[in-house]
Amino acid sequence: MSIKTFDLRNTFDPSEFYKTFDERKKTGKADVDNIVKDILQNVRLNGDKALFEYTSKFDGANLEECGFEVTAKEFDDAMASVPAELLVVIKNAASNIKSFHEKEKEESFEYVRKDGSSFGIKITPISKVGVYVPGGSAPLPSSVLMNIVPAKVAGVQEIIMCTPPNKQGLINPVILAAAVIAGVDRVFKVGGAQAIAAMAYGTESIPNVNKITGPGNAYVATAKGMVFGICGIDMIAGPSEILILADEKADVELVAADMLSQAEHDKMAASVLITPNEQFAKDVIIAAEKQLENLSRKDIAKSSFDNYGAVILVDDIKRGAEISNYIAPEHLELFVENVNDIIDSIQNAGAIFCGKWSPEPMGDYYCGTNHILPTNGTAKFSSPLGVWDFIKRTSVINYSRSGFLKDCNEAALFASAEGLDAHEKSIRMRSFSK
């Protein structure tokens, strides 16, 4: 296992590291774009026929007889097959997520002027949402909860979910159980870019939706970007990433474990340690190498570390925070003696985990915050998935006559300055009306 080390002590030029990190965003993009364009066009033109072909090709499942939609019996069988203890855990996690996201709810507002004119915002839930849940080598019931629960809190009327089947044409029962607990309306056995196309355009079996949310691989992320405008999307998520800002008093074994917690996601995941202490960094690398040998997904984690693992040595924690703000990591752990000394310096991160007792996996599963987070530096301008992703804000304008007459002349002058005669006329005609 090899982790690149970048010594940025006594220098303010981190360009070599930035170049390495930024190249990760571009890997294989052109090839993916071309494949996804073909899939989207095929599904748009041929509907279910294209979906059957892709499900057979990519998932090895023949669904032409049973169709794509999960049946009531399949839901019942899933609930019966999941261990009772795990069902309790999923229900408790869903409750935590609901409690947290209820605090994000927005309310319509209105303010009324003395002349009787009123202006405000009307909050309306999006009526129909499609949720994508990845399949891959590990089931992710946590992603089911993170998508559906905030949508339910927001008041979305209809929530459908797409997720890839196994070769027998079945969905992992834990995924289905989580969907039932979260409150899904319908589930379809379709994965990949073809699932995004189906939810965006609609097919004979799968309804089109107003917005698509949820993480996925490069093909799913690319497809979401390409259908934006036909429907809304939450974000274009890239591979997972963690940045740990640590001083020499941090626990070496725990820091190593937390880096590996992201590296095991996939070979494109990035795990970065920033520290002012060189010996501490060396100790973390040694600890990670030892822990790696006991992981069931050690080959994936090793590839991740070899390709995108990094240690950055800095003069002090403050400088480390500056570099972290440039990277804008999905997950940021502050493994420092006094979190309060540094947290105000952090401007860009999807989620911040404070201190020894707040490891990143707690956010993945249980504490209630959302684990669908901005990646690839997009935390500079975007936020975690939340209730706000499932609502619309509509402006409401209600002038009284006296209020209009008070404002109309200046508004008409504005229209005239922009050379929009019809706008000006629309305003001025009313000034003579009773």
Determine the Cα–Cα distance for residues 68 and 55; give it in Å rounded to an integer.
Answer: 10
Catalytic one among 74, 101, 265, 331?
A: 331
- Taking Cα atoms as reference points, which of 236, 214, 217, 223 lies closest to residue 371? 214
Cross-strand bridge partners of residue 212: 130, 233
**Phi-psi label, residue 183: left if phi above 0, alpha if psi -120 to 50, beta otherwise:** left
> Using an 8 Å Cβ cutoff, are 122 and 393 in contact?
yes
Burial of 69 (0-12, 13-18, 19+ CB in 10 A): middle
| Pairing outcome for strands 128-132 and 211-213 | parallel
Structure tokens at 67: 């169709």
**Phi-psi label, residue 334: left if phi above 0, alpha if psi -120 to 50, beta otherwise:** beta
Determine the Cα–Cα distance for residues 42 and 149; give it in Å rounded to an integer.
Answer: 32
| Alpha-helix residue ranges (DSSP H) falling in 60-187 | 72-81, 84-102, 141-154, 173-182
Write b or e for each residue in 100-125: b if 16 or more Cβ atoms lie within 10 A of its Cβ, otherwise e. Answer: bbeebeeeeeeeeeeeebeeeeebeb
Catalytic one among 330, 333, 360, 424?
A: 330
Is position 331 annotated as part of the catalytic site? yes
Could you give the maximum distance between any two Cα atoms of the chain, in Å? 83
Count other Cβ atoms within 10 Å, centred on residue 317. Answer: 21
- In sequence order, what are the residues at sequence separation of 6 or more whose Cβ sits closer than 8 angstroms to the Cβ of residue 201? 40, 43, 44, 208, 227, 230
DSSP 8-class letter at 432:
T
Indicate which residues carry an active-site annotation: 330-331
